[in-house]
Structure 1
């Protein structure tokens, strides 16, 4: 595909008041990434000239996208003097002869769904839906496979109201069309805005060709509310999980599983119900059991859960992590941690067993410190390892021990317990003889 045949402009300047949020609409997330990210990602598969028009919270929008893309152009819209979709195109200078105009609130668009705009030589290509119930949409009147005009519902007569074809909001223009008609746009309307759709009427008057392109509603679904956001999330999740199941990942009750866009699976993997896998996680030949969370971590030849929490920057290899175990920013290789433990800022080597109730005390209220545990270490239940600490190979730590020494040498048993004290008949003395009778 020749990426220099088309320029893409993404309109991302609006406030999105119906979202009822202080956050710019295009920064609301779908499967772990802002909506705008998904649109730019699809656009870059088709074009090497991608522009994003910004205005509302422009600094935040630009900063957010520059984390992911370093070769897109940001164009600031003068919303005071030139509001509206037509005004958004005033300062855009596309490089290529065909210009595809997308909306920043359509995160389900894919490169495949835009192919129809690339292979048509009409002066304008206009996307359309056919809806069973078009109420609320402007109608698109088509004759002989050409768009004749667009009419808003409030302005439509009965015959026009019976039309079920509506505007999907995406257009491809020849650059010459934009150069001719954008300067001619007027804001002489109720909203006092400059509308890109007015280009359609002017071009039709000059006998230019305006081709309709029927698109599927799923890919071109706009997000205007939190409800739309949730619906789009479900569609995106279905796509992500379908891709990985087709690649061989086993998912139990996939509708209950959440997987973000950058997660990667390799080899034989199994994901049970209720799991959440986020960030740049890599799951390699591993099993994640029910209701576990894996965040921005790598699992290789391991099993996790149920009800485990693997927090960011963890590397877990050849390891068993059981229920109610939390791991954070740690490297575990060949380890068994069966249940009820917290392992933070740790390096733990192969053959080591972590008993129930073990915690690494990695934070003193000011700084965080590392715990290093060697090979074949047996850590008894309910142990506290106060970092910074290094435990060499072949060490036993007795149950209930608090280890505070900075370095434990190989072969040692570590034991710290208060001597047990028995007070005869204390229970009966405390509660009274009535308990003894019972």
Structure 2
């Protein structure tokens, strides 16, 4: 059956006390709405519609970056979840299949749970959970898995508030039926809003079926405050660490390793303490990441060794058996097989051939204040320590640069390039200079007193 997703992301998030729309606050280096989109994408949906409201321009831009195929629609007035879904329905025109309504501030629903919703046979299916503390959640009035109605906390009687089976807000329904039921919603309730949850009672009144699919309460965790955001981050990291170790990753001190939503790590990778993964990191099997590294937007191939204290930035592509040592930064650079970059080096906008050794203190000078330029180094070259490579420049295969050189012109394959001024030695001059400076210092101190 074809699947479409509606992701509700229009709320202001007043309790976050922020200028940023709530769904754009991050967990695992990804906006909250990105987690909902990622979970939903596991169903291979035919259409994805995100309903934006507060900060709609920011949300639309973020969604486009997260999922270019998603469509964003505007809910100008926030009149309830039913009203929000109504704004999305025109974007489903012509769609025939099942619609799942998700929430942009609920990041932990698992793809397996959404699959269960997609496969449910009832006309309307609601995702519920047994709450340890039901609090102000809406209650599901059910007989087994058969659902009678949903009662919002504000409208519930004491007997209904004693029920622990609660509503997550996530609903699955046939597209045509959803449109029919939403069109009939009213707002005669304590909040004066159009509740999406009222479609359950409306469906039952038509003699249609409704049922509950349940999940663990942790999957339904919504984010409304900074404290809840922090708890969500801790929960996310705990899950990612456990999943990584289950998949064959070794972590010396798991509690100090931080993952992003899309981090991919192969088996038999070893990760040292205090390592941070930003978005877009892929590490192939058998690599080793030493302590205090920060990696974002990079690809490390099999057998790579990184760090300690290394920084890999977006566009860093490392072939097999590349070594990146301490205090090395790599950005938008391709390093061939077996390249060694030991320490204290910056490689930006560069291409480096296999087997090349980059000496300590080397810098690819890639920015002229206006534009970026590229450095190309061939295979099996040797770049001496403290070499400044002023891009655009090309160093050929098997070439060598002398330590302390500033290379501004291309170096042919097999050549040696040395750029230094002649060393001048003046015996005794250092002693005279220091005596003069000390005398000047003493004179200034006496004058100041």
Which range, TM-score by smaller chain? 0.7 to 0.9
- d(CA) in 1 for partners of 2:100, 2:152: 23
Q: Which residue is equivalent to 2:446?
A: none
Q: Which residue is equivalent to 2:326?
A: 323
Alpha-carbon displacement from aligned partner over 1:61-116 (angstroms, at most 9, x marks no partner):
34433345455454443527xx2111123341553464432222222122201244
- d(CA) in 2 for partners of 1:97, 1:72: 17
Report SS of the residue matched to 1:328: strand
Residue 107 and residue 373 in structure 1: after superposition, are their counterparts in 2 closer, same or farther (change >3 A)? same
Query: Would you say the 8 A contact 1:7–1:96 is kept in 2?
Result: no
Report SS of the residue matched to 1:236: helix
Alpha-carbon displacement from aligned partner over 1:185-235 (angstroms, at most 9, x marks no partner):
222445332112333344455665443333211222212233333333333
Q: Which residue is equivalent to 1:30?
A: 27
- d(CA) in 2 for partners of 1:150, 1:195: 10
Q: Is 2:389 the counterpart of 1:391?
A: no
Q: Which residue is equivalent to 1:311?
A: 313
Q: Is 2:345 the counterpart of 1:345?
A: no
The equivalences for 1:144-293 within 5 A come to: 146-174=146-174, 178-204=178-204, 208-266=208-266, 268-284=268-284, 285-293=286-294
Deviates more, 1:65-74 or 1:277-286: 65-74
Residue 401 and residue 21 in structure 1: after superposition, are their counterparts in 2 closer, same or farther (change >3 A)? same
Q: How far apart are residue 242 of structure 1 and its match?
A: 3.8
Q: Which residue is equivalent to 2:425?
A: 420
- d(CA) in 2 for partners of 1:420, 1:374: 37
- d(CA) in 2 for partners of 1:67, 1:200: 35
- d(CA) in 2 for partners of 1:115, 1:430: 78
Q: Which residue is equivalent to 1:51?
A: 49
TM-score (norm 1): 0.84
Query: Would you say the 8 A contact 2:247–2:267 is kept in 1?
Result: no
TM-score (norm 2): 0.82
Q: Which residue is equivalent to 1:436?
A: none
Q: Is 2:9 the counterpart of 1:12?
A: yes
Alpha-carbon displacement from aligned partner over 1:169-198 (angstroms, at most 9, x marks no partner):
222345565455423322244533211233
Q: How far apart are residue 325 of structure 1 and its match?
A: 1.0
- d(CA) in 1 for partners of 2:221, 2:261: 19
- d(CA) in 2 for partners of 1:130, 1:267: 36
Q: Which residue is equivalent to 2:447?
A: none
- d(CA) in 1 for partners of 2:179, 2:275: 51
Query: Would you say the 8 A contact 1:394–1:412 is kept in 2?
Result: no
Selected match of 1:336 from 335, 340, 344: 340
In structure 1, list runs of 5 or more residues that go unmatched. Answer: 433-438
Deviates more, 1:320-329 or 1:209-218: 209-218
Selected match of 1:86 from 82, 86, 102: 82
Following TM superposition, where does structure 1 have runs of at least 4 consecutive aligned residues deviating by more than 6 angstroms?
none
Selected match of 1:302 from 304, 310, 315: 304
Q: Which residue is equivalent to 1:42?
A: 39
Q: Which structure shows the bigger proportion of residues in helix conformation? A: 2
Query: Would you say the 8 A contact 2:333–2:350 is kept in 1?
Result: yes
Deviates more, 1:340-349 or 1:6-15: 6-15
Report SS of the residue matched to 2:280: coil
Q: How far apart are residue 396 of structure 1 and its match?
A: 4.2
Residue 396 and residue 9 in structure 1: after superposition, are their counterparts in 2 closer, same or farther (change >3 A)? closer
